[in-house]
Amino acid sequence: MCGIVGYIGYEQAGPFLLDGLEKLEYRGYDSAGVCLNDGKELVVKKAKGKLKVLKELTDNGRKLDGTVGIGHTRWATHGEPSDVNAHPHLSESGRFAVVHNGIIENYQQLKDYLTSKGVVFRSMTDTEVIVQLIEYYYKGNLIDAVIKMLEKLEGSYALGVISRENPDEIIAVRKESPLIIGLGENENFIASDVTAILSKTRKIYRLENNEIAVLNRENVKIINTDKEEIRKDTETVNWDINAAEKGGYEHFMFKEIMEQPKAIRDTISPRIKNGRVVLDDISLTAEQLKRFTKINIIACGSAYHVGVVAKYIFEKMLRIPVETDLASEFRYRDPIINDKVLTIVISQSGETADTKEAMKEAQRRGSHVISVVNVVGSAIAVESDEVIYTWAGPEISVATTKAYSTQLAVIYLMALYFGDMLGTIVADEYKALVGELEQLPERIENILQHKEKIQYLASKYFNSRDIFFIGRNIDYALSLEGSLKLKEISYIHSEAYAAGELKHGTISLIESGTPVIAIATHEELIGKIVSNIEEVKTRGAQVMCIACDNHPEMENIGQTIYIPKVCDMLLPSLTVIPLQLFAYYVASLKGCDIDKPRNLAKSVTVE
């Protein structure tokens, strides 16, 4: 949520800031702005709405003078989306400017205090208290003022600060919200995400909590709040810059759907050696694993849906009870967690605020935590006991596709690895499952080659008011993700239901013409889901089925999309592909902003 970019060098900062903000659009925002030091004063330009408004206002940044500047895309939390509430924010005198990601929890108390001292606020944001505090505490030394300000803040923040008093510096600070420093030749950068600066550098520092970076054109100095210098190792980003570009596709989402075979192959292949799953990142021994009496899976959004799938897979293959929790609810129900519970947290960004705090709660109660994360060096990856990375590469579209699929791939790897350690998988089954797992990318490629039928079905349903998804067992877990994909990018009301629950109230919503998407891949329950399909058809539903190709008779029940028959464990990875494509085509036919759906953000870094 929100995006920060900053530049100090010898080139005009404006065009780079606008380009960097464009790379951060996927994070979700409702206004954008920049502030540059033109050599005399701090000049702010900001606007409500899409970045193109700001680009038109500034001629893509070319109208802005100055070689030092900060920029921001804002996702509103405190104060409605507006020009005034957009970042950057200036202090009352105009001497200081700040951009901020995060939440200042005690902002009202700070605002009341500053107001009592005569400070006049312009916006309704929590962020403005930061820059007003800096000015209030400034006595000739900017670092001292920033440190004094930090002592007063409660909450989370990533900050970029520039000053008329220190025209050749940018100050950057991080606490519980991601911020990186980019290192160039006679120029340096700050950003909330590496994608914003990949065109300029691949050498970065990742700021840790309570670290302060002081940037000038030639170097970067990092200190703590006692002003002691901190030595950090640089990290080289290996992402292909083309991975953050559309590459000829109309939307990032479609590109990322098509990238899934490669992403899954990249996640699986290095971890299968000589027919065995090898997780070098996991240090747990068989003896330690056998001590666990329960597995808790914690996540949000689509990652939570991966956790629902994992519950079915782990319980069947490991014979250990599994509980899947929404991270936003986990901390507030006094969970029964101790050192006999293995906790698995799943997060694409590794910075999801609710997931991170839930993880800390599990650790405080003694649980061993394994994280499944895409972003190397992210907070959850660093703070968990062990981490397994999904090698999905950058995912730009807000609606996740390849991150979801690579998280599923890691779940399969973990199930096989732990099942082998526990002895709950016999040798022949293990060998067969590993073999099928290695063939998974090829089978997904096959589904993607036959996407035209899904596009045709989308053309029949894109004007629907409501669409329902039903399934049983692991198919129900997939219906949750299919429904979420559709609603978040097409804005069609959609719900997912366990098919066996239809008669307990939900079937009252079915009327003539209501589309129902029935997932019918779980072999043991085909008969039951067929009965449920007949129930909704009797009430006038238009049914679309997703079924395995060993059941051609499903075509007699409703229009059917077939996927290859594989073992039950791997079915979710195949089933999700037509669900993603259906959502994409529906949203495309409706003319929706697919990569940047309204009100949503890619990385949810506030609770």
Task: Give catalytic status of residue 451 as yes or no.
Answer: no
Question: 55, 200, 596, 602: which is the annotated catalytic residue?
Answer: 602
What is the Cα–Cα distance from 587 to 172, expressed in whole angstroms? 39
Please answer whether residues 8 and 183 qualify as being in contact, where contact means their C-beta atoms are separated by less than 8 angstroms.
Answer: no
Rounded to 5 degrees, φ, ψ at 549 are -70, 0
3-class SS at 69? strand
Tell me the one-letter amino acid at 47.
Answer: A
Counting Cα atoms < 13 Å in the Cβ hemisphere of 225 gives: 14
3-class SS at 520? strand
Tell me the one-letter amino acid at 506.
Answer: T
Within 10 A of 56 (CB to CB), how many other CB atoms are there? 10
Counting Cα atoms < 13 Å in the Cβ hemisphere of 170 gives: 33
What is the Cα–Cα distance from 252 to 250, expressed in whole angstroms? 7
Tell me the one-letter amino acid at 316.
Answer: K
Tell me the one-letter amino acid at 145.
Answer: A
Task: Give catalytic status of residue 545 as yes or no.
Answer: no
Question: 2, 300, 548, 592: which is the annotated catalytic residue?
Answer: 2
What is the Cα–Cα distance from 461 to 459, expressed in whole angstroms? 6
Tokens of 312: 């079915």
Residue among 266, 545, 238 at smallest CA distance from 389:
266
What is the Cα–Cα distance from 184 to 176, expressed in whole angstroms? 26
Query: 463 CB contacts (<8 Å, ≥6 apart)?
Result: none
Tokens of 226: 């006692």
Measured CA to CA in angstroms, residue 557 lies from 500, 527, 536 at distances of: 18, 12, 11
Tokens of 8: 């100090």
Assess whether the previous peptide bond of 88 is cis (omega < 30° from 0).
yes
Q: What does DSSP say about strands 341-347 and 294-299: parallel, antiparallel, or unpaired?
A: parallel
Query: The sheet that has 180-183: what strands, in order across it?
Result: 42-48, 31-37, 68-74, 3-8, 188-191, 180-183, 203-206, 235-236
Instruction: Catalogue the active-site residues.
Output: 2, 602
